[in-house]
Structure 1
């Protein structure tokens, strides 16, 4: 009897693995476009010092490249459902890709930091349209379940975030303009792939037209609001690390690219392989407590060792593991948090998340100017610890997520 049960388990596991890889061509096209879109987050990291030097800008001025990008993304998330419910998933994805290509290309041609900041905002608009719709497209078109679809999505994110800095470092060593032109070219390729590979008649469209107010209505559910505020708080740490740490590694564009490649690879590997195991073993909430606490400790160590290059380098790389786990855990939780459309839940959550990501980079630069370079990392770490505390005091609203995981 035990042998029979074991045989069944082996068959089930092999079936799940094959279903994860056995996907329609459209899924791989969306995944490829996701990789390129998420390159945009880490692409500018290796060239931040170079941009500051070439454009005679302060650290806080340069961090506005993240602030404008995230701020526009946050508010644009609120209209993604409205647009996709009217023109369909395919055309929303293509529109987002086209906007990214145009604004990244224009960014490479800019001659002042403020012009570049505004153009990064336009890039954020395209990214919002693409990112919010891509998750919905992968979940809808995938042959596997929601959990497996999220793993595919997080894999694409991880690859994009890890390859972005590498590409930024390589092209940035030629000119700081290179990474912007590079993304524009790659987005044209993604546009062509999606145009031909995504189905025309079988595109999943919302039968119900989405309103601008739907994401705000979704936040009435305490579970979704809790996860959104948690992400808002922990993104202070995330984007402090991403936007501010490059100034304290003492590396050129190549070196910064390799450091963030290591960060991104750890993020990708843990999000795909480690996070699901943590979920099964100790549950989603306890896993999030652990990962966020470890990330907060890492930021505090960075605050202590700000003037030691190797401390910053090692801390950035190891933080990728904590962030990769947490990204998958919280994305999975959001998809199960409230009885609303997945795209609406994603828009509401992302709005809060990217507001945090918009404030943090500029605040980090200003805190360093007002006090000293140690303070931004301490403040980022405190915000992440606050996210753990907030998640813990609201855990009663999220118990159903762990129960759903156990039942699955």
Structure 2
């Protein structure tokens, strides 16, 4: 080794391999979050074939997210009694069954019902997976969250593409494709993920609600709720405005997802280190709100709407990565409880956006849902200011380049806990 290399700590620092369990959870996360985006390109096809209005078809999003959000409050109670591995596998099994059931349905009502079951499976998986991947990488909480959000972004990015391409065949094929990937994820986790014991002290049902009494966590949850109102309005109503084929819509939202992954993995960590997490979140909220407002102004211009959708992925990627990280660090409760309470507000509250967007578009004008979504996202700045004193402005630096820079602020489990 050359003297220069020996004197450079960045060159001599060994690369840390990602544990097999973390890889398996990340892969399964991709498959699970495909379930959100796989529906967007086929919404117009479902409306045409099954005779539903945009508001009615958007209930596929609403039932999914409403049940997902409400179920978040019981995920800790369940996983602490069954163990993390069992909870993850039960969630994946429910998703696979719901996807197959959606594909076999002949009316909107049953599909909406199956999507509710899909949301329950997602809730069991999502809240548990975030805590599990953090636990699988002890001492590297920020990096674990980055990997998790990258997997989330990859799932959301590939979901519309898979849904659009398979939707060209049939909307049923889109659901079956999602079921196949989730089944594969189930098999992988069953083989790779070690058995985990039940928690010594089972989590209380009221723990997520108690966690929200923390001013900082409540503020972060409110921020996430408000920008998700904007996000799910774009996801559920923009396909009707674009008027593209399922494949074309899939490519648009896949481009959005690529931007999201880049921002989550590359841009967000750098901005967090140079500018600070909270200022970066404030800037991303303002830019995302502005982008949705542009869609409202130029709703009839396909090119502008398409570009705005794709570019907005950059801002959502930064928000997803940093808001999640702040939420996991700011509260004194364990990671699973923080994730459950935060996700309860994010998805439970955001569930109204798809239906409300469809109803507003039908009752008024196509631009109104986007204007309302832009206003809701902008309100996130007020929610951020509300908890400003309780939020960490900048991450702490690691000592000698070891460990997680934020580890000192939050207890981190050394093993996957039940």
* TM-score bin (small chain): over 0.9
Within the candidate set 396, 400, 414, 1:405 is matched to 396
> Take 1:227 and 1:6, find their aligned partners in 2: how far apart are those partners?
42
1:70 corresponds in structure 2 to 65
Determine whether 1:106 maps to 2:101.
yes
TM-superposed CA distance for 1:125, in Å, is: 0.2
1:127 aligns with 2:86: no
C-alpha distance in structure 2 between counterparts of 1:6 and 1:242, whole Å = 50
Distance 1:84 1:101 in 2: 19
Deviations 1:312-343 (A, max 9, x none): 11111000110001100001101111100110
Q: Following the alignment from structure 1 to structure 2, what is the Cα–Cα distance between the partners of residues 355 and 111? A: 27
Q: Superposed, which structure 2 residues align to 1:1-400 within 5 Å?
A: 7-12=8-13, 15=14, 18-19=15-16, 22-142=17-137, 145-200=140-195, 203=196, 205-398=198-391
Superposition RMSD on alpha carbons, in Å?
A: 1.6
Aligned residue for 1:405, secondary structure, equals: coil
Per the alignment, in what secondary structure is the counterpart of residue 213 of structure 2?
coil
Aligned with 2:171: secondary structure?
coil
1:143: how far off?
5.3
CA contact (8 A) 2:273 2:395 kept: no
Distance in 1 separating the partners of 2:20 and 2:249: 34
- Superposed displacement of residue 174, structure 1: 0.3
Query: Which TM-score applies when normalising by structure 2?
Result: 0.92
CA contact (8 A) 1:249 1:310 kept: no
Distance, in Å, in 1 between the alignment partners of 2:288 and 2:79 is: 35
Residue 25 of structure 1: how far off its partner (Å): 1.7
Structure 1 unaligned regions, length at least 5: none
**Aligned partners of 1:164, 1:49: CA distance in 2, in Å?**
16
Which structure is higher in helix share? 1
Instruction: Detail structure 1 runs of 4+ shifted over 6 Å in the superposition.
Output: 3-6
Deviation at 1:146, TM superposition (A): 0.1
User: What TM-score, normalized to structure 1?
Assistant: 0.94
C-alpha deviation, 1:222, in angstroms = 0.5
* CA distance in structure 2 between the partners assigned to 1:366 and 1:37 by the alignment: 28
In 1, distance between residues paired with 2:149 and 2:128? 14
Alpha-carbon shift at residue 403 of structure 1 (Å): 4.8
SS of residue in 2 equivalent to 1:177: helix
- Residue aligned with 2:238, SS: helix
Q: How many Å apart are 1:117 and its aligned residue?
A: 0.9
Cα separation, 2, equivalents of 1:133 and 1:58 = 35
Contact 2:85 2:193 in 1 (8 A): yes
Partner of 2:408: none
C-alpha contact 1:141 1:204 (8 A) present in aligned 2: no
- Aligned with 2:351: secondary structure? helix
Q: Greater shift after overlay, 185-194 or 62-71?
A: 185-194
Instruction: Return the offset for 1:345.
Output: 0.5
Decide whether the 8 Å contact of 2:211 with 2:341 is kept in 1.
Answer: yes
1:402: how far off? 2.6
Q: 1:205 to 1:264 in 2, by over 3 A?
A: farther
